[in-house]
Amino acid sequence: MSGELKSRAHSYGQNCYHLIWNPKYRIHMLKTKAIKKVCDGVIRMIAFQQGYVIHEMQVLDDHIHLFIELPPSVSISKAFQMLKGISSRVLRRNFRWLRKFKCLWSKGKFYRSVGNVTAGVIEHYIQHSQGNYDYFNTRRSYISAEQMTITSF
């Protein structure tokens, strides 16, 4: 399920993103059913090999939408690099006419983190859920200010 938190060795959370990218110059290469199928398949293959979880994907005529969950150790840039780079190589290998384009995918990309809470909910949680954090006023110091000495080296 896309909205569930995952427990890992030293973490607990969710790392889902909405990713969008498009072909260079918005060429309509993805209009062809065969290219769409291969593109869909290769993106799913990359996700499986890299440990990404695809919750939803749409390969449209001039861009790709992807709702994906990444492992916490993978950056957005690395995920885009893998998805765009490998898919470009496979598509060019299978469809010779795509080799005439210097670049298959545009440099641009869109990403947005996806979660169950808004920024306001997080702010409220941080401000109110852990109690009043007034460390210096509530805790006695075992060493008085007079006892502290600063030494220079």
Instruction: Report pLDDT digits (tens) over 76-121.
Output: 999 999 999 999 999 999 999 988 888 899 999 999 988 776 777 7
CA distance 143 to 66: 57
- Would you give the end-to-end CA distance of the chain in angstroms? 58
Tell me, rounded to whole angstroms, the distance of Cα 95 from its chain centroid: 29
Q: Are strands 16-21 and 53-59 parallel, antiparallel or unpaired?
A: unpaired
pLDDT of residue 38: 95
**Domains parsed from the chain with CATH numbers:** 15-118 (3.30.70.1290)
Instruction: Report pLDDT digits (tens) over 3-17.
Output: 577 777 777 777 889
| pTM for the full predicted model | 0.73
Instruction: Report pLDDT digits (tens) over 139-151.
Output: 555 555 555 555 5
Q: How far is CA 114 from CA 15, 55, 61, in A?
A: 8, 12, 24
Mean pLDDT of 66-83: 94
pLDDT band per the 50, 70, 90 thresholds, residue 25: confident
Mean pLDDT of 21-32: 86
CA distance 138 to 39: 60
Burial of 115 (0-12, 13-18, 19+ CB in 10 A): middle
CA distance 116 to 5: 10
